[in-house]
Structure 1
């Protein structure tokens, strides 16, 4: 129960961090393309990080719901009436916004305009 309660806020935070990391990977990739003055394939790490964000966000919600059901069956109280349940409940609340952020990052990763940078004058 302790691990499940702690997983929710940790997964929420790590999901946001991975979405932020997608932007860093993409920026580095654009700079490498401009330095090499040629188009390069997109790095696989960017796609992995883009999928990790929503996976972590959804897993936090699933774990929170499972924890709430377990607390209700075992103790007969609502989730936020226990300390561990309150930690999970407070950790999952911002997840509504973060899942939207993570999904938009995933969409942007696969969007056709994500093809790369303008290489400029390479002549």
Structure 2
């Protein structure tokens, strides 16, 4: 009987649990949020450049476009959310499977996808700061006379 109870215990511990659909979504969210966050932050520069050109063409100061504020906030929010989701996913995989994040295929995707996000969060935060900081000289309107 001792052998049957130990074999039943070992079968229970080696039994693989299926990975939930939510885990797949979380693993794919990390690299997707990282890429979209970077693209959105760089879009702030394009929006600002277009705004300056429109002001110069109209020869008057215009308010900042709302889309620039939305894009400036979206970058850091997406970057930070990618890191948070990756940490939560690592805890879940560790709890359910007893392996580190990179021990599963889905976890490896999240692990690889989070590092560029961690490196770009300072850039995204800087672009957010630049959006709200006053520009000393402002756009040069040129010869409007």
Sort the TM-score into its range (normalised by shorter chain).
over 0.9
1:7 equivalent to 2:7? Answer: no
Alpha-carbon distance change, 10 to 104 in structure 1, aligned in 2, over 3 angstroms? same
Unpaired runs of at least 5, structure 2: 1-22
Q: Which runs of 4+ in 1 moved over 2 A?
A: none
Q: Give, in whole Å, the separation in 2 of the partners of 1:54 and 1:114.
A: 25
Q: Deviations over 1:46-105 (max 9, x none)?
A: 001000000000000000000000000000100101100000000001112210110010
Q: Give, in whole Å, the separation in 1 of the partners of 2:136 and 2:101.
A: 42
Bigger Rg over Cα: 2
Counterpart of 1:42 in structure 2 is 64
1:30 equivalent to 2:52? Answer: yes
Deviation at 1:120, TM superposition (A): 1.4
Q: How many residues align?
A: 123
Deviation at 1:109, TM superposition (A): 0.4
Unpaired runs of at least 5, structure 1: none
Q: Give, in whole Å, the separation in 1 of the partners of 2:106 and 2:81.
A: 17
After superposition, residues 1-123 of structure 1 pair within 5 angstroms as 1-113=23-135, 116-123=138-145
SS of the residue aligned with 2:142? coil
TM-score scaled by length of structure 2 = 0.82
Comparing both chains, which one has the higher relative contact order based on Cα–Cα distances under 8 Å and sequence gaps of 6 or more?
A: 1
SS of the residue aligned with 2:135? helix
Q: Give, in whole Å, the separation in 2 of the partners of 1:115 and 1:97.
A: 31
Deviation at 1:116, TM superposition (A): 3.9
Q: Give, in whole Å, the separation in 2 of the partners of 1:114 and 1:24.
A: 20
Q: Give, in whole Å, the separation in 2 of the partners of 1:54 and 1:36.
A: 32
Q: Any conservation in 2 of the 1:38–1:119 contact (CA below 8 Å)?
A: yes
